[in-house]
Structure 1
Amino acid sequence: MQLSSLKPSSASGTFSPIVARTESRHTAVNPIAFDCVKLIVVRAGGARLFSAFGNHHVNIGDVVMLATNTLCGAEPEGWITTTTLYLDRDYLIDQVFWQYAAQFCDRHNARDFFDAHYSTPAQIVHIGEDRAGHLMPWLDELTALSLDGPQPERFLRAQALLFSVLDVIVPFMTTTAATVSGRRGSTVIPAAPRHRQFTPLRVEARHIAQLIRDDPAHQWTVPELAEAVHLSPSQLRRVFVEAFGKAPIAYLTMVRTERMAQLLRSTVLPIKQIAADVGWADADFAARQFRRGLGATPTAYRQFVCGSGSDDAA
């Protein structure tokens, strides 16, 4: 499954900034990333997760929080039932803007505050079984609304349910100290709202992401990628970061880590060869990058998932 998956979209195929899905899993989930914020509420069962927070067990009472473009894989320990909230990042920034409207000059201040205050890419928060049970009716209703697709007359209800869920979860989040940034020039124009599925807007960013995914083993450089879409390297970095939340080379590292995890699971090839196949000639460097992305060394990851089945969706 590609990063720009259609799964977070509503059943009607129309973009909605709030989508909820409830599912039970008995098979493994290969590491994958989405270009939206994900909140995964564990309702029953348990699993071992691999992400930037390391290699951790989760069960009922746990909530997994993933920033945009953050890899996460799962190995159910028997089975696990979750409700996942897919939240558009710009929508969340808008809520931060109105929450602190008296302090901000414009929406860009809210974006800076959001990026600084909620900079942890992946974390597990423990809200407890009782609080998790309190969320269940709201999560069930959000899921039902998502199945029907985005209906304007029901959006305020969906938003109210989301705020109720966040009111329980957010106090348990790990945040970083941040101050509101200073006033920007009056020429700054707030970004327009995005009426889309969870995919980047700029065609140049989409094209570069596809080039990387089609051939992650290639030794891509920013100048080479920039030339492919007729932008300067600095323009490409800006456009790509706006679309995916990370620079092109960081995105390449994420894709290589994703592919390496798939090969570790599905083949018996030596780790050194797998590293080379995804574009890393130095196996030690590959292991460091893999551990940074999924919280385990390639050897430990392969030992843990050996013999497990897997799907390609999350």
Structure 2
Amino acid sequence: MPLRFLTEQHFSAHTRRLGKVVTVVLVERGAGTLTHRHGRHEVRAGDMAVFEPEAEFHYTPSRPLRISMMMIDQDLLLDAVAWRHARRSLAGRARVRAIAVALSRPIIVLHPSRSEAGRVKRIFHAAMRLQGQDGQSLDRNPFPRMLTLTTQLMEIVDPLVVRDHPHRLFAEQLRAAATLEIPDAQHPGVRRALEFIATRPPAEWTLPRLAEAAMLSPGYFARIFAEEVGTSPRQFLSERRLTEFIVLIHSSTLTVSQAARKVGWASPSHAIAAYRKHAGATPAKARAKRESDAGGATVLPDESSIPPPGIELPQL
């Protein structure tokens, strides 16, 4: 199931292993300690957490906990975020890629205001009523309404992720992704194809698949794409993946192999060769120079934990 909401009560220690979905948790009532492989966090009513797919976490209540959860397929979540940004510009679609990388990082603990937490709670409960008991819908076709609620939820969560993300390079990554140049094509089919590439460069795009997304024949699509963009679809996708790879190498802690997979390259050696051709050095050497220039000040996600609510983060 790509989208599901549920509520749980915890009066004693509890461990949950998540599936291959992004999970957003709201602490509705109570307080306790949230533990996972990257650290411990004190949480209380109103706090939220975003878990990476297949994460495992452990709650130790200090007061009985009531939590609500949204479990959503990552592609569906990105579509919900994209709906908010795509209405503004194609650069907004690029930002979705940065959010996707953020969601692949370890847990993010968020501290919404009381009014924001109240809105999230109302959205969760409305979705659970629509979904019905045991995940069975009470509506013949609830999915459009569920997506509307999910989009409303993302309008609250998206800025919180930017504000509360524990990795200080995340803001830099957002800026880099938001300024990626995407051609402003006039043909609606070419625009659709560019948006698909911008949102999901890792997908196995072929000329027939891109033409299908553009709702054009492959031959006509290749010709009109070259006229509008100035290069072939294959060359544009390769350049786009290289640009995304450079952003990840310069502003994330993903390994070269992980960054290559994120942009759709199965071979790390291909990614290294493309980067060397572009920058004149390997990604490892570029990172070493970057850290040296920064005085070795790069902070990895595992090196610091998020303090309890109400404690100010030190200014870096």
Structure of higher CA gyration radius = 2
| TM-score (ref. length: structure 1) | 0.48
| TM-score (ref. length: structure 2) | 0.48
